[in-house]
Structure 1
Amino acid sequence: MLQLSRWLIISVLLLLSTLVLSFAVNASSSGWQQAKHIRAELLSEYGTVTPGQQFAILLHFQPDPGWHTYWQNPGDSGLPTSINWQLPQGVQAGAIQWPTPQAFVIPPLVNYGFAGQTLLLTDVTIPTDYPADSLTIKADVDWLVCEEICIPADASFELTLAVASNSELGVSQQPLFNQARSSLPVKTGITGDYAISGGAFSAELMEPLPQPPVAFFVAGTELVDHAAAQQLVPQASGLLLQQAINTYFSNAPQQVEVVLVDAEGKGYSVSLQHRSQPAEPDSSTEILVTGGTLKQSSLWLILVMAAGGGLILNLMPCVFPVLSLKALSIAGNSQQRRQQRRDAIFYSAGVVLSFLALAGLLIALRAAGNAIGWGFQLQSPLLVGLLAYLLLALGLSLSGLVQFGLGLMNAGGELTAKSGGKGSFFTGVLAVVVASPCTAPFMGTALGYAVTQSPQVALLVFAALGLGMALPFLLLAYIPALARLLPKPGAWMETLKQLLAWPLYLSAVWLVWVFGRQTGIDAVALLLVGMVALAAALWLWGRVQLGAGWFNRLAMLVLMLLALVTLWQVASQPVSDGNIDQQSERQHWQSWSPEKLAELQQQGKPVLVNMTADWCITCLVNERVALNTERSKAALKDYNVSYLKGDWTRRDGDITAYLQQYQRDGVPLYVLYWPGQPPQVLPQILTPDTLRQTFESLSQQ
């Protein structure tokens, strides 16, 4: 009996010690509390703590599959989790340390939060003079858990920890705390600032991140439009971030946290200071293109690209007809090397100075607040009509109808048609004026770089464009081996002269078409009346040159005045709202607008944006070859891609701002938005298979 009693006493003591030990092990956990579609517990990293110690507390959420809680900035809807601590005197709790969030797209809303297990860390600090031998931590927690519906909930948690001279780590809880810390965005220490300007949040980081980011989350609420497209433009010294501001934006906080996420989902935290001016991109802009990226980190590379673009401009259909004037001059002087060189220098001077003049005008207008870009002069119907008149007049001159003298065309036709330095110079001027609608390969990148730089650098880039365009004539004049390839003058030149009139007539037709897209079919009819009057005036001028009397002179002046007045009146008319010939094309594209693009992105659809203009020859060729074909229409349909077209034929501030987002100052610009991928800028020259190949590649990622 005595032995049995001893056995019972030992068993009871063992049981009690086991219970005590079990309590000690589990004292670092409050235990689970169940709510609808989620359960939660509060954990301490240490079971025993010491005075003066700082340790971590963890709020552990486990929602049902498909349900989520919210980040500190919940986005368009939702509420962040909040913790109200009740702590003994002197004990302090820090702010919640938020993990890297994810986006939840519920069109038309975008929210930020956490799906699956969520671990929210908070640091608790015990004062060095804490007197008690235990520490009781209480927390009242409020949260919102959502799927298609949202359910608010709250719970109260309590932890009691022993206080001793030595702390003891809760070993069983350590994996959760390690996981919580690994989910936090990395504190990079990178500095930066941001501004609100032009309806956009614009931030500039001073250093590059370890990995290129693909998205960012702004912690400040009601600061950005969460559903708007994000722009992340790498810089030589960091990164440029842009996103439209929130509809409910009222004021900018002095400091805001931004979390950037790379392709692997790793987050990086950056603290930004508010400033009054928006960030400007720098010389290292990285342009994302199909198949890779292009970094503009060196000025010399940009100058080479600019010169290459200027060289290719000579082959563009909007420039080549004008160069026929210069070709005649070179052919006529093929045996007079000194005169060839002089003409080449004057022609080059006309080209380069015209580029510099356009650059100066562009810089001046931008400084005055005008949003314009390359080719802006052909956004004026009046100038388009004048150029059509001029090319018609030059064509008639080449056809032998009239020889320009010292009359009203002295500032235009004679200056380009006559031989000598003056004619060469103004041929260069005219070539640049009509070249502006063409954005040759490499030229768009160079122009986009130029307009983001100082005026001195911008002028240097435009000068390189001019030198590239003038280079063929300089080479012909200064390299005898090339000059000897030119044929000797002869009777063939008169035939060639008349043949070269026809490209000028075709260029005039193209300008009339551009004019019609800007003003409407009625205005085109009146412009054609003016061109007929101009042709009649030039015919009478030719008769005057052959000795006709005063009546021909008077009739010529009346017809010339009629042509100019007609053009002035037509160009002053309001813009036509639409063109009937466009309706059949609208079956596979929609008109671009910032709102339409944002709406389609909110719906999670892939979107192709085409920024074009009727005066852009490259744009029109791409549409005929690669965008309006049955093959491309089928690709758009197969991959459910929405196709938006922005028309920059007449000045449009929204389109200009959009172009500048991608460091472009001219068209064409093709941008593809694919869900889950950063925007991709497609090549300026498209092939028939560009769209399908690009869609197929992205759909497999």
Structure 2
Amino acid sequence: MSSAPLSPVALFWRCCLWLILLLALPAQAQFTLGQRATDQAATPHVQARLVVQAPDGIAAGQPLTLGLLLTHQPQWHTYWKNAGDSGLPTELDWDVPPGLEAGEIAWPVPQQIRVGDLLNYGYEGQILLPVPMTVGPDFTPDADGTVRIGLHARWLVCRVECIPEDVQLQVQLPVAQSHGAFAAAFADAQARAPAVSSALTGQFEVAPDGQHVTLQVQGLPAPAQGQELAFYPEAADTFRHAAVLGRDWQQRWDGAVWHATLPLSDMRGATPAALEVVLGLPVAGSSVAEQPPAAAWRIAAPVQGQWQAAQLAEISPALAAALAANQANQTNPTTTAPPASGGSNARSGSWLMALAGGLIGGLLLNLMPCVFPVLAIKLLGFARHGSDMRAQRLGGLAYTLGTVVSFAALGALLLALRAAGEQLGWGFQLQNPMVIVALAVLFTVLGLNLAGVFEFGQMLPSGIASLHLRHPVADAFLSGVLAVAVASPCTAPFMGASLGFAVALPAAQALAIFAALGLGMALPYLLLSWAPGLLRWLPRPGPWMATFRCAMAFPMLATVVWLTWVLGQQTGVDGVAALLALLLALSALIWALTLQGRTRWLLGAVLAALLGWLLPTLAPYLRELPPQEASAASSAPGTALWQPWSPEQQTQLLAEGRPVFVDYTAAWCVTCQFNKRTTLSDPAVLQAFTLRGVQLLRADWTRQDPRITAALEQLGRSGVPVYVLLAPGKAPVVLTELIRPDDVLQALAGI
């Protein structure tokens, strides 16, 4: 006997139970790929292992050294403490018990890595980054005689493209046992560390032109004398690293004294009292670009004289005033007037305007395509209740409470993560590919149910299947939660300014703005539930509801198409294929469970085993991050004119006198995609950009990028889309979220 169809909201309730079971295995697979508490992990380009050197056990006063052992894929590399012209050094965050204290990385000397006209310093092949640990007298092992040490390691791995990666590692060590399995690797790392000698002295002197310094070094050992040495500055922005690729720097020997003339960087800061550098002796018959030096020496040399610090990194008064204006004038993004004074009254007024902006933004969310499937089945729920006004009103209040609580909960999570140091903004949840996968699974199951492929009552105990009948208010509340789940990444007009302002406010005021978003989104349905006259246009319950229910399956599956496209921007085509394979296996399993008799259980068991095998097998393809350039280049038509954004490139272009237009975007932002295919692809707009020599930069926030988050914060925003026109000597112009060609042309006329 077939069971009665569940309400659309009850579908969400049942799907949550399915997701708890179905996502357990992918979560476990994700753990295995780098998040599990283990001493080793593998990313697509690097194998990492947490290793220990404690020959006399772990006790106060005994030597203890930990290390991160990295094994790179061929042609890939990570970076030294000074990455050079590009790149980022590896960072290690330790989780150690009281009594243990981690020191700094004892960096082995790197090799020079030349990429085009750039010179970087990094490591290829296998490298151990040792970290000395201090075991204090207050150290106490666990009750079982062991100690647990955790490490969160982050690095940038590059070939031509660069990919940020990270792993979580942990070891549990018996304190009374000797640990020396990796003694050879620690010995090799120690041999590659630069030597320090009191007999080695040096001195920098600023040249009269203020653009170069000279360095004299005495006390170098005999094997180095007369040889051409490699130069490794520990300060990132003091010297022009790529100068050694040409002849813009010279070195010579005057007896036993080594002399060098070194060009200063255009990004140099103030003159320090001393500079730390490493000099390397190349392996005989090879260059330092082929392998690390055979020997190296570290020198801390005082600086005589003063150079003028570069001014490029400073914010001009016009830019500072414009950023302050953007923060104060949140409801008119094109305004560039300075903020009005007025103390607390002005701040209170800005908060009330941001609150109104949040309410309006929530109302506009109901017009976003990604929200349509949920809102359509909500209207179906109104028709089902018919003339039962009490049920209508309770359902409307519960739905409103669900949206308000969900938006406030997301806002509270965002504020808490930012307070903990995470660089996140609105829509952060969809920057995680596993969240995309979970939503795609949820909407696939909902779509199959709406299409009549299965009924939850066939697969769940009758007590669970009838929960929505016994708890209609909870059913309506969960519908609000579902609506927020798909609506939150759709940043509608007026929301960006309000949310950007909210994250800088005290928690109570910020949460009020998030709650206003939820109230605005639920307001039309709250009014419908309390105004009987507004419901008269809805048809009476009847057979049409079954047809409408099946028709709603297609918007649900269309949402899956959108989510799959978003995942493709994050993980590449392999990630799309992996998700489709999982959804196909899941759909087949659901269909098998609708069969009768032994066929149901035999075929269901086979398909369940297939799904269980696919989850850990395909999980790596759902985590891999493709090159940022590929993600940006595939996001819209006309991308040949666009370049990936970086703060360094933006600064360089403005220093050269070129205006810049920055598109802060993300694949999961529907408004962003609409603007790309309309205004930002308009021939007249593109021609105007070209005629005025404007460089187009695209800041792709599909995956988490702290640099983009920081840039949005400077503009007083917390989500995308954001469009900014920058010109040398002029205040930046921040355009509205839904831009028209006339808006862009008017902004261009002012430069």
Task: Please classify the TM superposition score into its range, dividing by the shorter chain length.
Answer: 0.5 to 0.7
C-alpha deviation, 1:289, in angstroms: 3.2
User: AA paired with 1:362?
Assistant: L
User: AA paired with 1:485?
Assistant: W
1:535-554 residue pairs with structure 2 within 5 A?
A: 535-543=587-595, 549-554=600-605
1:66-215 residue pairs with structure 2 within 5 A?
A: none
C-alpha deviation, 1:567, in angstroms: 5.9
Which residue in 2 is equivalent to 1:689? 742
Q: Tell me the number of residue pairs that the alignment of Structure 1 and Structure 2 aligns.
A: 439
CA distance in 1, matches of 2:594, 2:397: 32
Residues 340-375 of structure 1: CA distance to partner in whole angstroms, max 9, x if unpaired? 112212211211111111111111111110010100
Instruction: Compare CA radii of gyration and give the structure with the larger one.
Output: 1
CA distance in 1, matches of 2:331, 2:712: 12
Is 2:408 the partner of 1:356? yes
Give the SS at the match of 1:651: coil
Cα contact 1:534–1:559 (8 A) shared by 2: no
In structure 2, runs of 5+ residues without a counterpart are 1-208, 212-239, 241-306, 341-345
Is 2:484 the partner of 1:432? yes
- Superposed CA RMSD: 3.5
Among 642, 657, 667, which residue is 1:589 paired with? Answer: 642
Q: 1:685 to 1:678 in 2, by over 3 A?
A: same
Deviates more, 1:511-520 or 1:581-590: 581-590
C-alpha deviation, 1:675, in angstroms: 3.4
Q: 1:404 to 1:228 in 2, by over 3 A?
A: farther
Q: 1:686 to 1:498 in 2, by over 3 A?
A: same
Which residue in 1 is equivalent to 2:724? 671
Among 555, 566, 573, which residue is 1:514 paired with? Answer: 566
Residues 72-103 of structure 1: CA distance to partner in whole angstroms, max 9, x if unpaired? xxxxx999xxxxxxxxxxxxxxxxxxxxxxxx
1:1-12 residue pairs with structure 2 within 5 A?
A: none
C-alpha deviation, 1:316, in angstroms: 0.6
CA distance in 2, matches of 1:521, 1:475: 44
Which residue in 1 is equivalent to 2:72? none
Among 512, 519, 533, which residue is 1:460 paired with? Answer: 512
1:54-453 residue pairs with structure 2 within 5 A?
A: 225-226=311-312, 228-230=314-316, 284=328, 289-290=333-334, 297=347, 298=349, 299-405=351-457, 420-453=472-505
CA distance in 1, matches of 2:678, 2:422: 34
Q: 1:223 to 1:371 in 2, by over 3 A?
A: farther
Cα contact 2:319–2:730 (8 A) shared by 1: no
Q: 1:627 to 1:367 in 2, by over 3 A?
A: same
User: AA paired with 1:623?
Assistant: K
Which residue in 1 is equivalent to 2:694? 641
Is 2:569 the partner of 1:523? no
C-alpha deviation, 1:552, in angstroms: 4.7
Among 634, 648, 652, which residue is 1:599 paired with? Answer: 652
1:616-627 residue pairs with structure 2 within 5 A?
A: 616-627=669-680
C-alpha deviation, 1:573, in angstroms: 3.4
CA distance in 1, matches of 2:471, 2:394: 11
C-alpha deviation, 1:581, in angstroms: 4.4
CA distance in 2, matches of 1:337, 1:582: 47
User: AA paired with 1:652?
Assistant: D
Give the SS at the match of 2:403: helix
Cα contact 2:637–2:681 (8 A) shared by 1: no
Higher relative contact order (CA 8 A, sep 6+): 2
Q: 1:301 to 1:407 in 2, by over 3 A?
A: farther
CA distance in 2, matches of 1:413, 1:604: 66
Residues 100-152 of structure 1: CA distance to partner in whole angstroms, max 9, x if unpaired? xxxxxxxx9xxxxxxxxxxxxxxxxxxxxxxxxxxxxxxxxxxxxxxxxxxxx
User: AA paired with 1:631?
Assistant: A
CA distance in 1, matches of 2:333, 2:618: 42
Deviates more, 1:288-297 or 1:514-523: 288-297
User: AA paired with 2:622?
Assistant: A
CA distance in 2, matches of 1:541, 1:463: 41
User: AA paired with 2:334?
Assistant: T
Q: 1:576 to 1:284 in 2, by over 3 A?
A: closer
Structure 2 length as normaliser, TM-score?
Answer: 0.54
Taking only the aligned residue pairs, the percentage that are identical comes to 41
CA distance in 2, matches of 1:653, 1:641: 25
Q: 1:291 to 1:303 in 2, by over 3 A?
A: closer
Among 604, 623, 629, which residue is 1:572 paired with? Answer: 623
Residues 393-449 of structure 1: CA distance to partner in whole angstroms, max 9, x if unpaired? 111111111112485899x99999998223322221121121121111111111011
Structure 1 length as normaliser, TM-score?
Answer: 0.57
Q: 1:560 to 1:420 in 2, by over 3 A?
A: farther
Residues 189-233 of structure 1: CA distance to partner in whole angstroms, max 9, x if unpaired? xxxxxxxxxxxxxxxxxxxxxxxxxxxxxxxx9788445554768
Give the SS at the match of 1:511: helix
C-alpha deviation, 1:471, in angstroms: 0.6
Give the SS at the match of 2:693: coil
CA distance in 2, matches of 1:636, 1:624: 16
User: AA paired with 2:595?
Assistant: R
1:42-57 residue pairs with structure 2 within 5 A?
A: none
Is 2:683 the partner of 1:630? yes
Which residue in 2 is equivalent to 1:611? 664
Cα contact 1:379–1:650 (8 A) shared by 2: yes
User: AA paired with 1:661?
Assistant: Q
User: AA paired with 1:551?
Assistant: L
C-alpha deviation, 1:450, in angstroms: 0.8
Q: 1:408 to 1:307 in 2, by over 3 A?
A: farther
Give the SS at the match of 2:505: coil
Cα contact 2:431–2:702 (8 A) shared by 1: yes
Cα contact 2:326–2:336 (8 A) shared by 1: no
User: AA paired with 1:636?
Assistant: F
In structure 1, runs of 5+ residues without a counterpart are 1-76, 80-107, 109-220, 243-280
Q: 1:479 to 1:228 in 2, by over 3 A?
A: same
1:24-39 residue pairs with structure 2 within 5 A?
A: none
C-alpha deviation, 1:334, in angstroms: 2.8
Give the SS at the match of 2:725: strand
Give the SS at the match of 2:456: coil
Cα contact 1:288–1:680 (8 A) shared by 2: no
Is 2:709 the partner of 1:656? yes
CA distance in 1, matches of 2:588, 2:399: 31
